[in-house]
Chains A and B, each alone.
Chain A
Amino acid sequence: MEAAAATSPLAAVRADFPVLERTGPAGGLPLAYLDSAATSQKPHAVIEAMADYYRRSNAPVHRGVYELGRESTELYEGARDRIAAFVGAEPACSIFTRNATEAINLVAYAWGRDHVGPGDEVLISHMEHHSNIVPWQLLCAEAGATLRYLSVSDTGELSLDELDEALAGGRVKLVALAHISNVLGTLNPVEEVVVRARAAGAVTLIDGSQAVPQMPVDVAALDADFYVWTGHKALGPTVGLLHGRRELLESMRPFLGGGHMISRVELDHSTWAELPGKFEAGTAGVGEAVGLGAAVDYLGALGMERVRAHERELTACALERLPAVDGITLHGPPDLDRRGGVVSFAIEGIHPHDIAEVCDRHGVCVRAGHHCAQPLMRRLGVGATARASFHVYNSRDEVDRLVDALKDAREVFQL
């Protein structure tokens, strides 16, 4: 039995993630990590690629006359090439940022400050992460523009009719939406959103932080003006990506000023480096880029279609088995075609924090809280939810352990 398990594809994947060897606090139970929507675990390949970089190739990039510097630059730019190819984007238009939040702030500042003015509208939705709300609030307050929200239906979905109505007003300059909701798991119809927004003269930004880690994404085919995501949810370290349309990136003002982003610095003004350097001021996080390069190699080798199928299987399993817990409410779309591997839920009579506390005793890691989506919490009429989210290393057995932990939470709360 054990030999069979060791050679199963899932067992092989799990063996790639060293953290899964540790146990939870529950007396030796293996860790069931169900919080990948917050941050994913990292495979040996990523950890080793980063350690190797620092062990053998660490040097400043883009300056080295010496061999070590050339090697470091090749690793950095090689990682960019592979990361861009992984999502079908052009390397020169793929900018490394600190995280997805910084990528959105970059657009809000360097594009928004010159294209959004008094009376204009920025259109987002009630299901956005704070990272796709607050930068637009700051922009709108400064520009005298209005921040508008698309509503979320009871099944956690957006309405394209409502999008059309908002666009028909002719004031929307930008539509910024999550590809997949980090709370509801909703897979939004971003292809259609991009087409309709463009027809109405609005620029689009899609936050792919939850999408790139778990499904095939083709940035070129989607053709949004800006597409952002973050490496740490995609088995890599914390480094963000901004993919932008070349004409926009070239016409935009810089975001951060400093070294590397310049072409020439005079006493009273400067000129800017070509893309992507124009938006990469300061010393680059080379180790992080190298690590994310290894992560996309790993995901690519697994195959993103297979990753998506695995996420779908676990989500289906969760949607099927969680209702066995008395008093449970599941949030998000019931249709598996319209959701990713994120399942938020509530249990009547037990606060999400306490759910997570009892789950922890079973070695099951779930998130409890507002998930950086307070407007969505208000829309759902709750202060917080508990959330289980999956990645390549999770199993159906772990979904069962979650169900058992939730049943135990009801016992603890004497329900």
Chain B
Amino acid sequence: MDSLYRDYILDHYKQPRNFGTLEPHDLEAHDHNPLCGDELGVHLRVQDGKIAELAFHGQGCAISQAAASIASEELVGMQVDDIGALSAAWVIDLLGIDISPTRRKCALLSLKVMRGATGGDASWPE
């Protein structure tokens, strides 16, 4: 089995969950990776302080798209106020593959966008 492009990574890349747009939406953010030009946006619907629905949109490599898709399944139902505390390690653990330094920003773009949308620190997650 491929150590990076595992079946579930490719599955999430080819059929990303929670992708598209949400109209209307309560929160949104859009960001990009200046190194490669990948773009990712997110629309959120919030109910009782929790993320009720979420949709990512944009384009990117298998790692960035799979990270967004896999994370999205965890993010629905979370308290909006808790998003800011999610760390880089949280996403990388979810991905379950070794991420080299050159692919780190690919893995972290979705979390960066989520933090931006929920009013948190929109710099690259540590």
Where the two chains meet, the residues of A that have a C-beta atom closer than 8 Å to any C-beta of B are 349-354, 357, 368-370, 374, 377, 383-384, 412-414
Contact = CB atoms under 8 A, between A and B. Distances in A.
A368 B4 contact: no
A412 B2 contact: yes
Specify which of A350, A351, A377, A413 lies most central, judged by the most chain B CB atoms within 10 Å of its CB.
Answer: A351
B61 A353 contact: yes
A369 B59 contact: no
B60 A351 contact: yes
Given A351-B62, A413-B10, A370 B36 contact: yes
A370 B60 CA distance: 12
22 contacts: A349-B14, A351-B59, A351-B60, A351-B61, A351-B65, A352-B36, A352-B61, A353-B36, A353-B38, A353-B61, A353-B62, A353-B103, A354-B5, A354-B61, A357-B4, A369-B35, A374-B37, A383-B36, A383-B39, A384-B38, A412-B2, A413-B10
Contact of B37 (A357, A377, A412): A377
Contacts of A374: 37
Given A351-B62, A384-B38, A414-B10, 20 more contacts: A349-B14, A350-B62, A351-B60, A351-B61, A352-B36, A352-B61, A353-B36, A353-B38, A353-B103, A353-B106, A354-B62, A354-B63, A369-B36, A369-B37, A370-B36, A370-B37, A383-B36, A383-B37, A383-B60, A413-B10
A413 B10 CA distance: 7
Contacts of B36: 352-353, 368-370, 383-384
A412 B60 contact: no
- Top 4 closest A-B pairs, CB basis? A370-B37, A353-B61, A351-B61, A369-B36
B107 to A, nearest CB: 12
A412 B5 contact: yes
A384 B2 CA distance: 24
Contacts of B62: 350-351, 353-354, 413
A350 B63 CA distance: 11
A368 B61 CA distance: 11
A349 B39 CA distance: 17
Contacts of A351: 59-62, 65
Interface centre among B5, B35, B63, B106 (most CB of A within 10 A): B5
Given A351-B60, A351-B62, A354-B62, A383 B38 contact: yes
A397 to B, nearest CB: 26
Interface in B18-48: 35-39
B5 A384 contact: no
Interface string B58-81: 011111010000000000000000
A362 to B, nearest CB: 14
B60 to A, nearest CB: 7
Contacts of B61: 351-354
Contacts of B38: 353, 383-384
Q: Which of A349, A369, A377, A383: most chain B CB closer than 10 A?
A: A383
Interface in B76-126: 103, 106
Contacts of A414: 10
Contacts of A413: 5, 10, 62
B62 to A, nearest CB: 5
Nearest to A374: B37
Nearest to A349: B14
A349 B65 CA distance: 12
A216 to B, nearest CB: 34
B108 to A, nearest CB: 14
Given A412-B5, A413-B10, A383 B59 contact: yes
A212 B106 CA distance: 35
A384 B37 contact: yes
Contacts of B103: 353, 357
Contacts of B37: 369-370, 374, 377, 383-384
A265 B67 CA distance: 60
Nearest to B59: A383
A349 B10 CA distance: 10
A412 B62 CA distance: 12
Interface string B1-16: 0101100001000100
A384 B32 CA distance: 12
